[in-house]
Structure 1
Amino acid sequence: MHSAAASPPTFSPAETLTEITTLLSPLLTSSLSTKHFTSRWQVIRTNLSSLSSHLSHLSNLSHNSLLDSLLSNVLSTLRLIETLATKCTDDVLTAGKLLTQSDLDIAIGSISKHVDDLDLLVRSGMLQQSSAIVLIEPGIGAGLVELGFYVRDVFARLQIGGIEFKDKAMDSLIQVLKKDEKAGSVVAKEGNVRYLVCLLDYNVDDSLREKVVLAVALLASACEESRKCVFEEGALGPLLRIIESNSVLLSERAVMAVEAITVDPDNAWAVLAYGGVSVLIDVCRYGSIVAQSHALGAITNVALIEEIRICLREEGGVGCIVTLLSSVPAKAANCISVLASVDEDCRDLILQEKGLQALLHLLDELSDLVVLEHVLRAIYSLSSMDTVRLLSLSSSFVIHLSEFIKNGNLVLQHLAVSLLADLSMMSERNKQNIAGCMCYLVKFMETVKPGGLQEVATQSLVLLLTVKSNRKYLIGDDESVMRLVQMLDPKTESVPKKFPVAVISAIMAGGSNGCRKKLVASGACRYLQNLAEMEVAGAKKLLQKLSGNRLKSILSSTWRE
């Protein structure tokens, strides 16, 4: 039986510092007298000299929990070095050579870390104030100087402190990144992001790693500067490895960070280099809904790279994305939209996987306008000669478009009008069913932004006006007629004249005398005469239709002269 070893005496911080300085001088001397492993002792001697220099800054020692812990560790390391120095000054090495060599390497690693930690502590400015375990956060609107000090303090605790300090430091870092939009930039400049990234791979408990991953994700999302910093410090590889871990929360936070990093298109290639496409596809197959949402976002971010799209096709990723329309509709639809718009092979695969039908089904199920924007954009990206027939014959789809035109936001309206303009095979019944949206289309003809809306609104109106009842409906709407006539006015420069000319020509295509009289009474002829003189395409012919033979003869005589 061995008796328990006596516990080392407990010193106050000042007493610990005295013990350290008392040990340092003889250790520096004895390191010169060692007879074994002299190269290692040279490294130790250099570190002891650096340690002595840093300790000189601690003459006015104030209570600092972080420093107290560090000094205690320094003293333990110096006692180990003292023991090793005694062994290595003997002519014959009595202890095992390999064991002594290993102990020296441990001592070198420890003393080097202590020197680095003391250097960090001195530079951080923490020694000028008392330091509790829990940090006091800067107030709302804190300046950059105050925020910078706080960030340096957080990272000093993170790097030097034990598990309790690290845990509280991570809480503080996460909170400041969530609350202060300036924090991301300050952390990139003042914090040790490389150390934070290293913690992703360190053997720390899951609770701390979850916080580290969340902090990295928040940092990558904060601003371009912090996102670049996270990527350049090598976070992507460890994050992709963490995604494959068994922890659901770790995986969710890691893939959230990957999505944030890949927002920068310059970082997309690295996903391919690290084998990240397969990882993201697996998340789409087997991950939680939260993880799947972020994985879809990351895939969307990197989808412009052809090699990544090839991987998606070859590994079944496209079909997997289509299946997620039911559970993660916004992200899945957005991903489909990007893939279909840049890659014909991906578009064909999406159609083979019944992606268009799934998107059409979502129109019946969803009410969120933002999600509907993504769905409609995906349908638009899939539109082609092959799909126009299916879309044109779908009465429910046509009615949905009409409702979006009447009640949607501007983005949704623009998408709906663009789709409607392409439905050349729409039945007469479907055209009649959506006559009520024509007055909105007339208003869109006056809308300069977004670009292209005037043109597709015109095309949609011309398409709907091929039906007699729709022509009668529109000409009966006095406000729409007045808008169309005002658009003919050369002074209305915001509207290209070919658009109202095309719509009024479509109204007159049936030769209705009632339509003619309504347009003439509204003053259309006066503006058309100006447009005819300006040689606007179709204006002369339309004027002749509206004016009848007498005015036609007068104009012909005028033009001959």
Structure 2
Amino acid sequence: MEEIPQIQTFKGKWSVIKTKLNDFPTQLKDLSDFPNFSSNLLSSDLLNSIYVTLTDTLSLAHKCRNPSLSVGKLRTQSDIDSIGAKLDQHGKDCELLIKSGVLQESCGSSSMNSKRELVRVEARSLITRLQIGGQESKNAAMDSLLRLLSEDDKNVLIAVAQGAVPVLVRLLDSSCVEIKEKAVTAISRVSMVDSSKHVLIAEGVLLLNHLLRVLESGSGFAKEKACIALQALSFSKENARTIGTRGGISSLLEICQAGTASSQSVAAGVLRNLAWFPDIKPNLIEENVIPVLISLAHSGTTVAQENAVSCLCNLVIDDENLKILIVREGGIECLKNFWDGASSGKRLEAAVALLRNLASCRPIADIIVSNGFIPRIVGVLSSGVSSLRIVAARAVYELGYCTKWRKDIGECGGVPPLVKMLDAKAVEERDIAAKTLSSLMHYVGNRRIFRKDEIGIIGTVQLLDPSIHNLDKKYPVSILFLIVQSKRCRKQMLASGAYAYLQKLTEMEVEGARKLLESLGPGKLWGVFART
């Protein structure tokens, strides 16, 4: 401070430096008031940095005392500006260190009696270090934070609660590539913990833009980590729109074609999420996504294939032209290979869902049947997974649109597992089973199979119960109407309580209920005797 009045060169700039220096005694006094000030590593590092800056300032002040400074004026001016920027940063670092609370904590205090508390203190310290000092210090802090996050999902939650996410997002704008890539890695780790995703979503477009830039120009490793984060964020319609309209699709497709095996998997996962939103589909089609997805479904890793098939499944919903395009691009053969290689229920569910969506187009349904898919889909009806049985039954319903295919489905054993599904726990499963049977039983041979076991009739009658909600009653009514001409079946219906149910359904004006009730009329005493 004593040197500044004697300075003869760049007096205006030195006047600003003097103002900044005047603030330091107060800030340093505030820091020293904390009991852990002298033992805290962050405060020690900060004091060392301030000391170096003040030493450089004094040396530069001596140089500027010469009024006839004739050499290196531009360099000197730049050095003064650099000193000013460093002093500003030191001031911000002092303020941040005071507000962070790390100087109020000590690893030796009695409150540090749990692992959770130790992790919280460490996380807060690391997050503070990421905002103070130079690149070397921040890089080391990033390494420590990544280690902490990788140990346990609970550590991720603790770090997020300490404000890690906004700090990591700001580091995505770092001029240091290494720090930037580590920040992407940390964000991808946070995105893998469901209860932390909302914090990432709150960062909005700023985070998405950073991640999309990584997709464009980052290393292969960084691109994979960015895809992991985007996969978690792309379930939101707003985020999906941002990704789809800001160049994300072309970058994702490039990764699907030329990226590492693991990055292809997550890139396809992002595309799968985008394809769910109708507004994004035109962008995907414009980028010629179909051939890339079919190629990936042929030759990618297990996860990449599953995500590619799921993406195709989402794309073709309510779009006949896309369904035809997939078939032309070799989609049926690809689906067959994927199906036959499926080793898990989840993987098979993706294949069955695509089959179901394609089969809703009648010309494609014929191609599917001619490629031997009826035995495959009937086999899935006996799966031990409810969700898989449901999607399989929907596919069977789409394929059974004509007598010939209904006959084939029945001869392949499709009726008994559907009858069994009528007694499932999930109402959704019972509903689709009834719907599918109501179609298949238009073929007389399937009616004969259904009548062989009274369990089918009993199960169907139970579905008439008005107290069972979210189940379309017209389907069990249709099933029973198709077999009501059989005296034995009428007796079984009445004995199971069908008459009382149908009276209520008739009052509710359920389609077909009145006709079935009238058909049961001559034998309604059976129902009375059966219930007494």
TM-score strictly above 0.5 = yes
CA displacement at 1:416 relative to structure 2: 0.9
- Rounded Cα–Cα distance in structure 1 between residues aligned with 2:490 and 2:242: 66
How has the CA–CA distance of structure 1 residues 92 and 380 changed in structure 2, closer, same or farther, with 3 Å as cutoff? same
Asked if residue 214 in structure 1 is aligned to residue 185 in structure 2, the reply is yes
Q: Does 1:474 align with 2:450?
A: yes
2:278 and 2:454 mapped to 1: Cα distance?
53
Matched residues in 2 for 1:401 and 1:473: separation? 19
Residues 39, 308 of structure 1: CA spacing in aligned structure 2 closer, same or farther, 3 A cutoff? Answer: farther
Q: Does the 8 A contact of 2:503 with 2:517 survive in 1?
A: no
Tell me the alpha carbon deviations over residues 78-106 of structure 1, each in whole angstroms, 9 at most, x when there is no partner: 12111222233333324422111011112
**2:67 corresponds to:** 91
1:405 aligned onto 2:381:
yes
Secondary structure of 2:457's aligned partner: helix
Cα offset, 1:230, TM superposition: 4.2
Q: Find 2:364's aligned residue among 387, 395, 406.
A: 387
> Deviation at 1:35?
3.6
Displacement of 1:400: 2.0
**Cα distance, 1:187–1:450 mapped onto 2, change above 3 Å:** farther
Q: Distance in 1 between matches of 2:335 and 2:430?
A: 26
User: Cα deviations across residues 277-318 of structure 1 (Å, max 9, x unaligned)?
Assistant: 221111111111211122122223333566743332233222
- 8 Å CA contact 1:193–1:229 kept in 2: the answer is no
| SS of the residue 2:382 aligns to | helix
Per the alignment, residue 270 of structure 1 pairs with 242
Deviation at 1:479, TM superposition (A): 2.5
Number of the residue aligned with 2:198: 225
Would you say 1:433 and 2:388 are equivalent positions?
no
Of the three residues 43, 56, 61, the one matched with 1:67 is 43
Distance 1:32 1:272, change over 3 A: farther
Deviations for 1:139-190, whole angstroms, at most 9, x for unmatched residues?
A: 55x36xx765433211222233566643442244234444565665654564
* 1:259 pairs with 2:231: yes
AA paired with 2:4?
A: S
- 1:214 Cα offset (Å): 0.9
TM-score normalized by the length of structure 2? 0.82
| Alpha carbons of structure 1 residues 108 and 342: separation in structure 2 relative to 1, 3 Å | farther
CA distance in 2, matches of 1:307, 1:270: 11
The answer (yes or no) to whether the contact 2:494–2:523 under 8 Å persists in 1 is: no
Which amino acid is the alignment partner of residue 432 of structure 1? G
1:358 Cα deviation (Å)?
Answer: 1.7
Q: Within 2, Cα distance between the matches of 1:271 and 1:32?
A: 57
Contact 2:356 2:398 in 1 (8 A): no
The one-letter amino acid of 1:236's match is: L
Corresponding residue for 2:79?
103
Partner residue of 2:32? 58
> Structure 2: how far apart are the matches of 1:100 and 1:385?
80
Contact 1:64 / 1:131 at 8 angstroms: preserved in 2?
no
Shift of 1:414: 1.0
Q: Which residue of 1 aligns with 2:14?
A: 41
Alignment of 1:348-359 (within 5 A): 348-359=324-335
One-letter code aligned to 2:258: Y
Identity %: 28
1:152·1:190 contact (CA, 8 Å) conserved in 2? yes
Contact 1:151 1:191 in 2 (8 A): no
- Can you list the C-alpha shifts for 1:200-230, whole angstroms capped at 9, x where unaligned? 3434364x54432210212344424321344
Task: State the superposition RMSD in angstroms.
Answer: 3.6
**C-alpha separation between the residues in 2 aligned to 1:308 and 1:544?**
51
Q: SS of the counterpart of 2:7?
A: coil
The Cα shift of 1:30 comes to: 3.0
CA contact (8 A) 2:352 2:377 kept: no
Distance 1:160 1:494, change over 3 A: closer
Partner letter of residue 439 of structure 1?
P
Q: What residue identity is the alignment partner of 1:462?
A: S
Question: Structure 2 unaligned runs (5+)?
Answer: 526-532
Structure 1 contact 448–495 (Cα < 8 Å) conserved: no
Q: For 1:205 and 1:495, how far apart are their aligned partners in 2?
A: 57
- Is 1:154 the equivalent of 2:126? yes
Name the structure 2 match of 1:79: 55
Go from structure 1 to structure 2 and tell me whether the alpha carbon gap of 1:466 and 1:553 turns closer, same or farther (over 3 Å shift).
closer
Residue pair 2:457, 2:493 contacting (<8 A) in 1 also: no
The structure-2 alpha-carbon separation of the partners of 1:220 and 1:40, relative to structure 1 and needing over 3 Å to count, comes to farther
**Residues 504-542 of structure 1: CA distance to partner in whole angstroms, max 9, x if unpaired?**
23235xx6xxxx243244353784554665546545655
Q: One-letter code of the match for 1:438?
A: V
TM superposition score normalised by structure 1: 0.78
Structure 2: distance between partners of 1:491 and 1:128: 62
Question: What is the aligned counterpart of 2:138 among 166, 177, 189?
Answer: 166
Q: Secondary structure at the match of 2:174?
A: coil
Amino acid at match of 2:284: L
**Distance in 2 of aligned mates of 1:236 and 1:489:** 50
Amino acid at match of 1:504: L
Give the AA of the match of 2:3.
S
Larger radius of gyration: 1
Q: Give the AA of the match of 2:32.
A: L
Residues paired across the two proteins, number? 507
Partner of 2:271: 299
Q: Does 1:280 align with 2:256?
A: no
Change (3 A) 1:158 1:538: closer
User: For residues 538 and 230 of structure 1, what CA distance do their matches in structure 2 show?
Assistant: 54
* Letter of the 2:418 counterpart: L
1:372 aligns with 2:348: yes
